[in-house]
Each structure stands twice: as C-alpha cells, then as structure tokens.
C-alpha cells in the first residue's frame, strides 16, 4: 500500500515536470469523453469507436461541437482533414472561445477554395470583444489528403499557433502597454459551416452545393489544459502555475529552432497570403503527435522504468482497496418479480429489471452489462429521460386498483406510448424526436416511426410533466403488440430469457393474459448541468394480469367460492431455475393488498387466530386463509396506515424455485382506488359534429382519504387533465362546460389554469392542459367539449377506414395524492430497486378509454365499380374490333363449303325422305348473307359504343 502511494507520488511529480507530455496524444481518446455536440446533431458521425468524428455540411445545416469543460491555459490541438473537391465557401473552424459579452477567442479558420486552388488558413485573436486581427496564409500541403496537426499554446505570456509543430503566428501579452490579451475561461470548439458570403474571393465565389455533403474529419480529442467549471467567469491563479508544463519559463517564448521556422513562414508570406515555402514542401510533418518537450533516449528509458513501477504500485493499490472493501463504481443489474393476488380471481405479475451504467466521464463508453444500444441512444440524441411502453388490453382501475405505485407508473394506455426529454436546444428538439422514433422503430420492430409526423406528437407544457419545452409526447393507440416487440426487449437483458427470473417469460402464457404492458424507462444524468452525474439507469418492467387455471375436477360448494390456487409453473408453464449470474440481486416478492390483509385480520378475529404468530412472522402455519409452498426469507409490513399491506420476500439462492399459493378460505376484498373514477365518452350523432365528455365520480375509498372535519367549500380536490386530439377533430375550446353533481357551474369557478394549443389542419394535433379544483364533498363531475369532424383526403384514409379513428387516452392525475408504499425502515431495502420505486412519492395517475370516432368515409366501392365497367367496355370494344380486323370472309366461306360437302349425303337422304328438292346454292348464299349482316351489325355496334364513349369522355 505504501509502495503504491510512493509510486503515485513519483508519477505525479514527473507529470508536473512534463514527462508525460510525450505520450499524451499517443493515447486515442473517445470524442464524448471531453467533447459534446452542440448543433447539427444529424450531421455528426462518430467512427472508429469514437476516436474520429466527421462533420458534414449540406444545404440544410452544418455541425459543431464544444468541450465539456472550460480552460484557463494550456496546449489545445486537433488532427484535422479538410473537405476535398470544390469546397469554395466552406469554412472549417477549430478555435477557443469564451461565453458572454466582450468575449475572447483564438481561431483557426480554414477557408475552402475551388478545385485546384489551395486552402487558405486564417487565424484571428479576439480579446475583450475586439477582433480584426485576421492573418491569412496558404498552406504548403494539401490538407484534404491526410490529417495534419493544428495546435494553440496559450499561457500568460504568449499565444502560439502551430501547424504540424511549425509556429505560424505568435501573439505576445502586451497588456502592460494597453493591448488587450485573452484573459477569460474558454471552451474548445470545432465546426463546419457555410461562409460563402465572405470566405472565398471576398464572397464572389459561392458554395457549389452539387458537391455536398462536405465532410471534415477530426481526430485527437485529448485536451491538455487547466480545466475549470463552466460557471466561472474569471481564470483562477492556479491556471498560471508553473506546475503546468505550458506555463514554465521555456514556453514564454519560442526556442531557436521554432524561431527560425517561424521567421521562414513570415518571410515567405506576402501580405499574409500567397505563402511560398519551397524548402518545406514535401518535408512538413504529416499527422504526427505533438511533442514540444525535447527528450533524450536516456530520458525515455527512465520514463518507461518509472511508468512500470507506477503500474505495479497502482495495481497493488487497487488490490488493497478491493481487499479492504473499497467500492469501485461498476455497472449493476438486478432482477425482481412481484406477485399480487387480485380480487377478481386473477394474479398480477410484475417483472422489474434494472440496469445501471456509471457516468461516461469516469467509466468510458465500454459496457459489460448495460445494453450498448440504449447507451448509444442516450449519447446520440442527448436523452435526459425517456419512456416507451407497448400495451395490450386496458387496466381495470375498479378491480385491480388505482392508488398504488404499479397502477400509477405501469398501467399504460393501449398501443404504444412514447415520451422523451432532450438535452438539446429547443429548436433541435423536433429533429431529435423524429430521429429517435426511427431508431426505436428499428430496435423494437414496431411502427414507432409513425410518430415522426408532427400530427401525431405534441409538446406538453405542464399538464403531463414539467420539462421546459424539451419534452415530446406521442401515442399510437392502434399499434398491435406481439412477440416481435418482446424479443428485442428481452435482448436488452444481460441473461436475456435464458436464465434468472426472465426465464419465466413464456410467450403464450403472457399473451393470453387479460392485460400486459412492457415498459422501458430511461433516466440519464450525462447532460445534467447541476453536476450530479449518476450515469444512466434503465428500468425494464413487464406487467401481466393472468387468470390461474383451477385444475380441480370435483369441487365442494365451499371450494367454488375459493380463489383458484396457483404456482409459477401453473401460470407460466415453467419454474425459475436459478438466478442470473450477472445480477447483483435476484428476488421474488408476494404482496398482499391492504384490503386483503384487513379481511384476513377479520377472519382471524372471528376464528380467534393470533395475527402476530401467523401472518406477521411466517404467514404459513396458521389456518388464516391461504398457505405458501415456500417459506419466505422475511416478511415486511407497511409503516403507515391502520391496515398495512404485507410483503413476503424470497431470495433466489436455490437452483430451482416454484412459489405456489393455495387458498383455504374464501376471501372477498377490494383494492384501493384513486380519489375519482375517470371515464371518457362521446356524445352526439351524425358525421358532422359531436362532443367529448370526461366523467369523474367519487369512490368509496376516496372519502377516507379526505379529512372529515373539513368544512364544505374550504376543501378543494385538485385534478389535472391532459388531452391530445387529432387534427381532424376540430375542438371548440370555448364550448367548455363543467357540471358538478349534475348542476352546471361557472368555468372560472372550477378551472384554475388552462392551456390550449388548437389543432392545425394536417400539421399538428390539438392539446389541452387543465387544472381543476373541485369541492371535496362532490359525488360526480363532468366536463364537455364540442367538436366538428374534419374531412380527409382519399389518400389519408387507412385500409380499415370504416372501423373509425382513434382519440388517444386522456391522462387524469391527482398531484396532491401520492401512491407510495413505505415499509419498515431497513438499510437492506436500498438493495431492492422495486421496493425503492414503491417508496418514491409519485402522483396518482390514470388513463381514460381510447375513443373511436366515425368520420365521413367515402364509398370505396365506387372506384371499384368504375374500374370494373371501364375494363368491361374496353374489353368489348377492343375485343370486337380485333375480331373484326382479324376475320377473313373468304376463309369462312370455304370452311362452310367443306362442312357442306361432308354433310351432303346426309342432306340428300333427308331431302328424299321429306320429298323436297335439295337447295345447296341458296343455302350457301343465304348463310353468306346472314354472316355478312351479322358482321355489319357488330361493326356498327362497336362503332356506336366507341362514339358514345368518346363523346362522354371528351
């Protein structure tokens, strides 16, 4: 341990003396470790595992990035390869800049040119907001063929611009004589943008967009500088300390070799342009790492030996920390399953998987447990929060409860629901949302890309959740959920569905349930400006409501009233065969709702069974209504409330686990509901107009939540309503009416706050956010809004247009009521993510029904009929005409004569029998005339049809 500390100290001293500078840029650094994209997110591509970034420029946008930290001094460099071909008007920039008024700035600006002419490098220095210090040189190499190193040395004495280790410009600190000198913290930035108004030939040569996109390549993202927080406006004195090698005296001015090279550049640069350096052509360093410090071979050998000692000591240091129990931040994964009996003879199964990745700044971008696809989504689209759910069925708030964490957080509307919060400028949020929908559509094999249209998503302000304009929300109520969505969801788990609790997820068992919702919740602090960086947390939940199969053939009258007994095997067709070896914790919980616990307590009192001996401790031996097949590891009780819920915990330590519950006595109970039961329906008839009504009815359990001693009128129940309607539903928001206990009320007396965003035809949906305050003693309330039905273009109708059109579910929330379950204080509860979620204060929330609106639908059979009759007429016309043109009368006559010759004998015999003369010539002539008359009739008929057709078509 002591050796490790000594080696660390030695290495630190060497680092301060500059020994490590020779290897700094040899280590490839990931772009996102020190930099972040600021604009043009769709025009930035990271390749080679983030060690190279490409910025592209087209007519829509360019791109830019900046360092995550500000700096007060240092040496800042970048390997850059410029756009090739005809790049006139294109500006590639690498620079340092401060924020605010009277800013400081140090610029490298590469001005593109027409093909065949050299690039122009422009440098500039801004100090205290004053610029106009541009200098231009023509580079002595082709910067589009390979990477070249461009660096800026900035200390308290001078600023030096380098190109491949050759100083091309020096700006001395002459502040003592009144010349401004950069003295503010600056960030390192790079960008690619259109500057054809001035960049080439003074703006006379414009950008030729036929050669777009223009691509600039950047490498070498290590930063050697004195980093300071972005919030600081002054450079601290420590950034001028000689402990940093760039502040040492030898870097206060150029050495002899550098001075010679600098003078050569200056002497061959006429009026800061047209540089001619014949002896440098072909000899300039290419793509070399920058090494200002001179080192001898002996020094390098000495450095290697010291580094070897350091590595040995460093390893022993970490080994000692691991032995003594020091916690090193690592990725974590946990798996849990919650089972809960429901009053309507069903069972709720809630799977909860949690993955956590440490901050990128401390752990990099290589993941062992955390899904790489999710990490890339966070970094590419700068996600702060995101939630995606696939749901089949509708949560029954009356029977399954509406006042608990699962119903408030995991009960979702049918179809797909997606919302996301972005850490990007507001004018880039829509573009990020559209790209995110495409990425998620491919990742989960769903139609989420339909949400890219501005008619399908909205930007809530405060009705859904506060997000200051960076939130987008969209739903697809008619999206079908199937195994193609579940399979990629399971692939995000470290063990997938091959081991651990996820092995229970048998597809047929899940999809035959009454309700199932797979949810993905993402929280990231990678872009948090408050300095709190806990990394990325991914929560995957699957909520299923199943009906257990009661396999008893013969049942008594008492058994018919019993809830069906169940086990994991009977519900999922398999048991848990051990935990996922990558999981930090693996637990199964059985929760008894407080209503069920209260009923069991009453049964125990009637049967004189001790509660403390049976339920609170083991819940097994006492005959109090049910029995468990596996003994729980511990039993937890809810802290608050006279009727606490009970939680049994089972650890996955055995190789095989199959929990079963057998009911002994019939138990009837009800789950706790939300303060108000919300429902929504349509009013009116016809295809022109109608009304949307939201009905709110008080529940029995809600009266227990309100203070009984409150005076009527002084107690108010707050209800928030968030509703999105498609653009073809023209809602008249001024027609809002409010009814309490079936009596109309003044809108201003109930509506405390309201925000409306009217729909725009084929552009955006209508959004309504309201805060309602109702008296606590009311029994029912309703609000109505009238609307007109719009008309769609024939191309906008779906294949099943006659089925109707969906209005997404409205969201009803109660911000003053929190659905949380707090169990006995225990430090080990922190190890259980699902119990931690239960103890969070989340507002009670519920979704209404999806409404089906019939719109005026055209008769799609008419086009079919028109096509059919048109094809028939064309067939008759062209078929008859073709038949006439191809028919030959002479051949038909010869055919008739041949047939007549064959039948001549029979005709003669027939004539003798009838005693009539044989008339062969007359028959032939008559048949020929008959054929001619038929032919003429057909021709006339076809010609008439053609004339009529042409007349009406014309």
Model pLDDT for residues 295-341, shown as the tens digit of each residue: 344 444 455 555 565 565 555 544 444 444 444 467 899 999 999 99
Rounded to an integer, what distance in angstroms lies between the CA atom of residue 264 and that of residue 29?
Answer: 34
Q: Express each pLDDT in 379-410 by its tens digit.
A: 899 999 999 999 999 999 999 999 999 999 99
Both tokens of 933, joined, read 């008359």
What pLDDT, on a 0 to 100 scale, did the predictor assign at position 902?
64
Handedness of CA 694, 698, 700, 703 (dihedral sign): positive
Q: Which of 280-289, 297-306, 805-814 has the highest mean pLDDT?
A: 805-814
* β partners of residue 888: none
* HSE (side-chain half, CA atoms, 13 Å) at 101: 0
Q: Express each pLDDT in 558-612 by its tens digit.
A: 566 788 999 999 999 999 988 899 999 999 999 999 888 888 888 777 765 444 4
What pLDDT, on a 0 to 100 scale, did the predictor assign at position 115?
85
Rounded to an integer, what distance in angstroms lies between the CA atom of residue 901 and that of residue 361?
Answer: 105
State the DSSP H helix or E strand holding residue 952, giving kind and residue range, or none if neither: helix 920-953
Rounded to an integer, what distance in angstroms lies between the CA atom of residue 927 and that of residue 943?
Answer: 24
Rounded to an integer, what distance in angstroms lies between the CA atom of residue 89 and that of residue 778?
Answer: 69
Percent of the chain past pLDDT 90, that is, above it, reads: 47
What pLDDT, on a 0 to 100 scale, did the predictor assign at position 924?
47
Q: Is 871 exposed, middle or buried (0-12, 13-18, 19+ CB in 10 A)?
A: exposed
Dihedral angle computed from the Cα positions of residues 256, 258, 262 and 268, in that order, rounded to the nearest 10 degrees: 90
Rounded to an integer, what distance in angstroms lies between the CA atom of residue 720 and that of residue 783?
Answer: 13
Nearest to 11 by CA among 313, 227, 224: 313
**Band of pLDDT at residue 918, cut at 50, 70 and 90:** low
Both tokens of 115, joined, read 């093909």
Taking all residues of the chain, what is their mean pLDDT, rounded to a whole number?
Answer: 82
Which is more confident, 918 or 519?
A: 519
SS3 403: coil
What pLDDT, on a 0 to 100 scale, did the predictor assign at position 132?
87
**Band of pLDDT at residue 458, cut at 50, 70 and 90:** very high
Is-contact 7 307, C-beta < 8 A?
no
Q: Express each pLDDT in 56-96 by its tens digit.
A: 999 989 999 999 999 999 999 999 999 988 899 999 999 99
What pLDDT, on a 0 to 100 scale, did the predictor assign at position 323?
43
Rounded to an integer, what distance in angstroms lies between the CA atom of residue 207 and that of residue 196?
Answer: 6
Q: The pTM is what?
A: 0.62
Please check the confidence at residue 222 and state whether its pLDDT lies above 80. yes
Please check the confidence at residue 783 and state whether its pLDDT lies above 50. yes
Is-contact 142 282, C-beta < 8 A?
no
Q: Which of 539-548, 647-656, 823-832 has the highest mean pLDDT?
A: 539-548
**Band of pLDDT at residue 822, cut at 50, 70 and 90:** confident
Please check the confidence at residue 444 and state whether its pLDDT lies above 90. yes
Q: Catalytic residue at 109? A: yes
Both tokens of 464, joined, read 């859904």
SS3 186: strand
Name the CA radius of gyration of the chain, rounded: 40
With b for 16 or more beta-carbon neighbours within 10 A and e for fewer, the 429-450 pattern comes to bebbbbbbbebbbebbebebeb
Q: Is 206 exposed, middle or buried (0-12, 13-18, 19+ CB in 10 A)?
A: middle
Q: Express each pLDDT in 645-684 by its tens digit.
A: 899 999 887 778 999 999 988 889 989 889 999 999 999 8
Q: Is 457 exposed, middle or buried (0-12, 13-18, 19+ CB in 10 A)?
A: buried
Residue 718 is given by DSSP the state E
SS3 551: coil
Rounded to an integer, what distance in angstroms lies between the CA atom of residue 802 and that of residue 805?
Answer: 9
Secondary structure of 867-883 in HEC code, one letter for each residue: HHHHHHHHHHHHHHHHH
Of the listed 24, 52, 66, 105, which one is catalytic?
105
What is the average pLDDT across 420-446?
Answer: 92
Of the listed 24, 109, 335, 649, which one is catalytic?
109
**Band of pLDDT at residue 875, cut at 50, 70 and 90:** confident
* β partners of residue 169: 161
Please check the confidence at residue 286 and state whether its pLDDT lies above 50. no
């Amino acid at each position: 341990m002591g050796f490790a500390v000594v080696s660390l100290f030695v290495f630190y001293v060497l680092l301060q003396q500059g020994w490590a500078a020779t290897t700094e840029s040899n280590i490839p650094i990931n772009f996102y470790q020190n930099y972040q994209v600021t604009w043009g997110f769709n025009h930035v591509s990271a390749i080679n595992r983030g060690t190279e970034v490409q910025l592209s420029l087209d007519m829509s946008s360019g791109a830019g990035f900046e360092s995550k930290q500000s700096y007060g001094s240092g040496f800042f460099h970048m390997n850059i390869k410029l756009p090739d071909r005809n790049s006139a008007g294109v500006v590639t920039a690498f620079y340092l800049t401060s924020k605010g008024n009277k800013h400081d700035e140090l610029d490298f600006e590469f001005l593109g040119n027409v093909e065949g002419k050299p690039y122009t490098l422009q440098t500039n220095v801004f100090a205290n907001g004053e610029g106009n210090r541009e200098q231009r040189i023509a580079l002595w190499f082709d910067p589009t063929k390979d990477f070249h190193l461009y660096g800026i040395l900035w200390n308290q004495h001078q600023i030096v611009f380098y190109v491949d280790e050759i100083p091309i410009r020096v700006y001395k600190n002459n502040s003592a004589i009144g010349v401004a000198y950069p003295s503010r913290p600056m960030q390192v930035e790079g960008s690619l943008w259109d500057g054809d108004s001035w960049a080439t030939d003074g703006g006379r040569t414009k950008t030729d967009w036929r050669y777009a996109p223009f691509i600039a390549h950047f490498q070498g993202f290590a930063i050697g500088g004195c980093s300071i927080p972005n919030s600081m406006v002054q450079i601290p004195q420590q950034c001028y300390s000689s402990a940093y090698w760039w502040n040492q005296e030898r870097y206060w001015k150029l050495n002899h070799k550098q001075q010679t090279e600098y003078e050569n550049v200056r002497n061959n640069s006429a009026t800061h342009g047209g540089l001619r350096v014949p002896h440098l052509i072909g000899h300039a360093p290419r793509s070399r790492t920058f090494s200002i410090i001179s080192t001898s071979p002996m020094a390098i050998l000495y450095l290697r030996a010291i580094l070897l000692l350091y590595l040995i000591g460093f390893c022993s240091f970490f080994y000692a920390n691991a032995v003594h129990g020091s916690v090193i931040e690592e990725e974590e994964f946990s798996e849990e399953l919650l089972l809960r009996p429901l009053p309507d003879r069903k069972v709720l199964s809630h799977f909860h998987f949690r993955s956590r990745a440490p901050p990128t700044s401390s752990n990099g971008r290589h993941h062992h447990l955390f899904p790489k696809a999710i990490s890339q989504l966070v970094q590419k689209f700068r996600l702060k929060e995101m939630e995606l759910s696939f749901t089949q069925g509708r949560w029954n708030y009356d029977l399954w409860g509406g006042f608990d964490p699962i119903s408030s957080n995991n009960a979702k509307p049918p179809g797909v629901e997606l919302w996301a919060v972005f850490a990007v400028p507001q004018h880039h949020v829509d573009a990020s949302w559209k790209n995110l929908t495409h990425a998620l559509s491919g990742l989960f094999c769903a139609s989420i890309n339909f949400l890219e249209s501005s008619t399908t998503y909205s930007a809530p302000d405060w009705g859904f959740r506060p997000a200051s304009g960076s939130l987008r929300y969209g739903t697809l109520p008619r999206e079908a959920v199937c195994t193609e969505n579940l399979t990629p969801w399971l692939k995000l788990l470290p063990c997938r569905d091959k081991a651990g609790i996820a092995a229970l997820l048998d597809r047929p068992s899940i999809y035959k349930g009454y309700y199932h919702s797979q949810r993905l919740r993402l929280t990231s602090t990678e872009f948090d400006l408050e300095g709190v960086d806990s990394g990325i947390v991914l929560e995957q939940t699957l909520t299923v409501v199943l009906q257990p199969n009661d396999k008893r053939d013969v049942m008594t009258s008492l058994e018919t009233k019993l809830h069906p007994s169940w086990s994991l095997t009977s519900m999922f067709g398999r048991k848990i065969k051990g935990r996922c070896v990558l999981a930090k914790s693996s637990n199964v919980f059985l929760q008894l709702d407080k209503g069920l616990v209260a009923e069991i307590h009453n049964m125990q009192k009637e049967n004189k069974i001790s509660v403390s001996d049976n339920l609170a401790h083991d819940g097994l031996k006492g005959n109090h209504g049910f029995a468990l097949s596996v003994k729980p590891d511990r039993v937890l009780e809810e802290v608050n409330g006279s009727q606490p819920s009970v939680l049994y915990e089972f650890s996955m330590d055995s190789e095989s686990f199959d929990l079963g519950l057998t009911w002994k006595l019939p138990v009837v109970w009800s789950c706790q509901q939300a303060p108000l039961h919300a429902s929504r329906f349509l009013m009116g008839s016809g295809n022109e107009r109608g009304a949307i009504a939201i009905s709110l009815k008080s529940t029995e359990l809600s009266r227990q939540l309100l203070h009984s001693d409150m005076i009527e009128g002084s107690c108010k129940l707050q209800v928030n309503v968030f509703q999105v309607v498609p653009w073809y539903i023209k809602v008249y928001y001024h027609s809002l009416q409010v009814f309490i206990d079936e009596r109309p009320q003044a809108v201003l007396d109930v509506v405390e706050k309201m925000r409306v965003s009217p729909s725009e035809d084929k552009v955006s949906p209508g959004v309504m956010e309201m805060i309602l305050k109702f008296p606590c003693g009311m029994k029912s309330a309703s609000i109505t809004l009238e609307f007109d039905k719009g008309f769609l273009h024939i191309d906008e109708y779906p294949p099943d247009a006659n089925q109707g059109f969906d209005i997404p579910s409205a969201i009803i929330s109660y911000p003053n009521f929190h659905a949380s379950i707090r169990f006995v204080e225990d430090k080990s509860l922190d190890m259980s993510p699902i119990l931690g979620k239960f103890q969070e204060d989340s507002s009670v929330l519920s979704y209404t029904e999806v409404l089906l609106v019939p719109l005026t639908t055209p008769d799609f059979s008419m086009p079919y009929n028109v096509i059919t009759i048109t094809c028939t007429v064309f067939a008759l016309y062209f078929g008859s005409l073709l038949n006439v043109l191809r028919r030959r009368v002479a051949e038909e006559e010869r055919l008739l004569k041949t047939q007549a010759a064959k039948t001549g004998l029979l005709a003669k015999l027939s004539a003798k029998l009838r005693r009539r003369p044989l008339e062969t010539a007359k028959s032939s002539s008559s048949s020929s005339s008959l054929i001619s008359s038929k032919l003429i009739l057909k021709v006339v008929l076809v010609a008439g049809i053609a004339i009529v057709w042409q007349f009406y078509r014309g």
